Amino acid sequence: MRAELDQTPRSLLVSERSSFRDQKTRIRAQVEQLHFNYKVSVLLPECCSAPPHLDSIFNTFNSFYLIRNLPVYELLDKNFLETAVYQGSVYGVSYRTRIDEDNCVALTPKGHLTLSLDKDSFEILGVEGKPSRFNHRTKCRFVVSVDLTDSSMAPGGRGYQRLLTGLRSRLQLKTDFLLSHYPANTTTSLQALLSRYDWSEHRPQISRHTLTDLSCPALLTSDLQSCDPHSFMEWVGAVDANVSCENSSSSFLSSLVCPEPRTTVSRALSVSVCGLLLPHDVHRLIQEIRCYLEQPHLESWVCLTVHGYADSPVSWGDNEHSVLKGGENFYSLLMFQDDTYHLHLATGAHDTCPP
């Protein structure tokens, strides 16, 4: 066994405690920083079915489109820029591409187009870029980042024409592409682009799982001090993956255990939504959970976890993202009845520290 396989990959974890009532709270900004979310999980203790108002949020997440074999130069189409990119928030990311091996593409809601390219593709494209921050001994990957809303990238301009020519005539990069647009009622602006290619519309997939006799940290209160954030995150991940934490330290299969001191809740509901999920929908869900917590319950907390795409070229705003070993980019929000919260933001050790 190679030496590096004996070691658990390092990761970065940023933790914050605050209140939704604090005027300086950064929750909304932090939610919007993670553009490309593929999974949202909610853990509701002492609950066997989601309340109707909360369930309606899960069912009204934005739909998204899968465009097959899309030429990337189509993202520079003048009509697409004017009716979609300039007018609203467009979210797009290449699908089933691997950031450490393939050419990957992302279009952020502020109109930034990012191409993560191997060396040969970058040289063929022939536009300005920079070496990836995650190159090792040799420069084998390069990043091209363009602000499509900048005046220098206006259709017909020199910068625009150079990139368009590179993508249309030289590199001819194509990829399966996930695309969504907010507000949802403006998706007609995507129809001209969709009509030229093979595409399908998808609704986020919802799954529900009822847990019984769930072990959880006993001090899940707003004044929680003793529970180590890493141990808490391991427990949240194990619950989400339906991995038992009832293990002894000598267990061969798993050494995951619930942090001490711990207690047991008789039942809990785990709800997951998967797809290309927009930050706007995540924020609506957070607001509805706050309303849910205002009602009297046996337990006074709810945990929400949001996972970003492991192979997205960007993570936490427009910062470059890389997989290498882990590819983590996610956050977990533990909310309480008194409107306080604990926020944990995680990423791989080779990525930029979360905001």
Q: Report the DSSP beta bridge partners of residue 67.
A: 177, 199
How confident is the model over 262-320, as pLDDT tens digits? 778 888 999 999 999 999 999 999 999 999 998 876 568 899 999 999 889 998 888 88
Q: Name which residue leads in pLDDT, 245 or 148.
A: 148
Report, as an integer, the average pLDDT of 145-164.
93
Mean pLDDT for the chain overall: 86
How confident is the model over 181-232, as pLDDT tens digits? 987 655 677 888 999 999 999 999 999 999 888 888 876 554 555 567 888 8
Q: Name which residue leads in pLDDT, 157 or 134.
A: 157
Task: Name the H helices within 190-312.
Answer: 191-194, 229-240, 279-293
In angstroms, rounded to a whole number, what is the distance separating the alpha carbons of residues 203 and 122?
35
Task: Name the H helices within the chain.
Answer: 27-33, 52-59, 78-80, 119-125, 158-165, 191-194, 229-240, 279-293
Q: Which of 341, 322, 320 is nearest to 332 (CA)?
A: 341
Per-residue confidence (pLDDT) for residue 1, from 0 to 100: 42
Domain boundaries, the chain: 3-61+204-348, 64-202
Q: Name which residue leads in pLDDT, 266 or 8.
A: 266
pLDDT band of residue 109 (cuts 50, 70, 90) is: very high
Sign of the torsion formed by the C-alpha atoms of 168, 173, 178 and 183: negative
Q: Name which residue leads in pLDDT, 71 or 138.
A: 71
Per-residue confidence (pLDDT) for residue 318, from 0 to 100: 84
Mapped onto helix, strand or coil, the DSSP state of residue 184 is helix
Can you give the length of the chain in residues?
A: 355
pLDDT band of residue 5 (cuts 50, 70, 90) is: very low
Lowest mean pLDDT among 34-38, 71-75, 142-146, 252-256: 252-256
Q: pTM, whole model, 2 decimals?
A: 0.90
Report, as an integer, the average pLDDT of 77-102.
91
Report, as an integer, the average pLDDT of 9-29.
84
Find out whether 262 and 218 touch, Cβ atoms under 8 Å: yes
pLDDT band of residue 140 (cuts 50, 70, 90) is: confident
| Kind plus residue range of the DSSP H or E element containing 307 | strand 301-308
Q: Name which residue leads in pLDDT, 15 or 77.
A: 77
Per-residue confidence (pLDDT) for residue 32, from 0 to 100: 92
% pLDDT > 70, the chain: 85
Q: Report the DSSP beta bridge partners of residue 54.
A: none
